[in-house]
Chains A and B, each alone.
Chain A
């Protein structure tokens, strides 16, 4: 009996003594941690997604307090979190615009992808693209092993009947995890206010791109959108049209003219039309000159009219009118 009890007592009392020493030491050598750090860490979402550049939410909280980092780096938290942090830190809230992930490829389903061979390897996109440049015919397209879906911590991806990934806008926080996960760089995190996107990433030459694309929606670098864009936001970069989102006004003209429907306009058919208020219009002709589709007509110093059939609702005239005589209707 003593053989069991004695060691128990001795090791137990050793532990007790050490515990007491540590307890006293922790009181004596207590280091005050800034309470702000804990408060901020509490108000962050706590998903440790890494969108802010820190490995975890606590690291970012420390960064805000100790290094004075910007408080709007948390993508999943959004405007609410920024406001709470601003309250804790006692500074003005400067919320960033919410961003959302967009998949820049319309292929990648069971029925709309042309395959070179059946891929039965490791079920990740990174592995699939390594095997003779991916199973699909297009060298730039989606290989549909769903790396983006597994990378998402918010369950913002849905997969439809055809096996296509759909981003659920309400759930997407714009953290950019999928952007990093995609080995073909098909996903971009873009401001949510931008509604028109070129959903193709193929740098192949026109006919080649179209031949390889399973959904026939490849950018064939015809350059129509470049010519049509009223704000010169589209450039042809290495056989692929690209939108400069700093300039883009989401007017949708490029989408309406694209021969392969590579450009997708979320607002298509939902746009409002411009309407000129009779009592305010001074007949300066500025709107008529600026209209990219010549939908506004009128003589100098006379009331101008909008041809609602031609109007695409780009909103340029609203901005340009010096007397604010144009409204959405």
Chain B
């Protein structure tokens, strides 16, 4: 149990995928304009990450290792993630068309989102067990969502604040992202 708690704190705060590992920065800036969009994107990423962790772990341990094909890791993982994202896209288009529209191009972009591939490879590199891998995927997704939501909340407030003309929108967002990364750096001192 303590192990799982450590894993959660580690994935969400200490080794946050966006602000510490610097993975998945494209949707972090791109989809953080509105709170509800950010939430939808976060949910999609949590789902894709947990599914990707599950399936890639199985592929690695039951397919690649027995046949001695570990060098095919990247190809096999990317193939899996691309399929998953396509699948999620179809489901969202059918079930929640408004969310599908607001996510727009960023949904297909999860396909090439390094955070998803990152979580799969980190699972293998740190030789996590099957259950741990799934949990790590979910926690990594939650970490991504938390940061995305904080950013979206801040940017919604920024819209109403007097920002200098040349700093509006993206420039101020990058500064904000830097400040957030610094703040999350504080978690690195945790000893668990």
Contact A10:B94 (CB < 8 A) given known A15-B79, A22-B87, A25-B87:
no
Q: How far is the CA of A22 from the CA of B83 in the complex (A)?
A: 7
Contact A21:B83 (CB < 8 A) given known A11-B75, A29-B93, A31-B94:
yes
Q: How far is the CA of A295 from the CA of B97 in the complex (A)?
A: 69
| Cross-interface CB contact of B90 among A7, A15, A18, A29, cutoff 8 Å | A29
| Residue B98 CB within 8 A of the other chain | no
> Which residues on B are within 8 Å of A, measured CB to CB?
59, 63, 67, 69, 72, 75-76, 79-80, 83, 86-87, 90-91, 93-94, 97
Minimum CB–CB distance for A296 against chain B, Å: 61
> Which residues on A are within 8 Å of B, measured CB to CB?
6-7, 10-11, 14-15, 18, 21-22, 25-26, 29-31
Asked whether A14 lies within 8 Å of B76 as measured between CB atoms, the reply is yes
Asked whether A7 lies within 8 Å of B72 as measured between CB atoms, the reply is yes
Asked whether B69 lies within 8 Å of A31 as measured between CB atoms, the reply is no
Q: How far is the CA of A10 from the CA of B69 in the complex (A)?
A: 9
Q: How far is the CA of A30 from the CA of B91 in the complex (A)?
A: 9
| Cross-interface CB contact of B79 among A14, A25, A31, cutoff 8 Å | A14
Q: How far is the CA of A15 from the CA of B86 in the complex (A)?
A: 13
Contacts of A10 in B (CB 8 A): 63, 67, 69, 72
Asked whether B69 lies within 8 Å of A29 as measured between CB atoms, the reply is no
* Residue among B67, B79, B90 with most chain A CB within 10 A: B90
Contacts of B91 in A (CB 8 A): 25, 29
Asked whether A6 lies within 8 Å of B67 as measured between CB atoms, the reply is yes
Minimum CB–CB distance for B94 against chain A, Å: 4
Q: How far is the CA of A7 from the CA of B76 in the complex (A)?
A: 10
Contacts of B83 in A (CB 8 A): 18, 21-22
Q: How far is the CA of A7 from the CA of B71 in the complex (A)?
A: 10
Q: Could you jot down 7 A-B contacts, CB within 8 Å? A: A6-B69, A7-B67, A11-B72, A14-B76, A21-B87, A29-B94, A31-B97
Contacts of B93 in A (CB 8 A): 29, 31
Contacts of B67 in A (CB 8 A): 6-7, 10
Q: How far is the CA of A25 from the CA of B84 in the complex (A)?
A: 11
Minimum CB–CB distance for B168 against chain A, Å: 23
Asked whether B69 lies within 8 Å of A18 as measured between CB atoms, the reply is no
Asked whether A26 lies within 8 Å of B90 as measured between CB atoms, the reply is yes
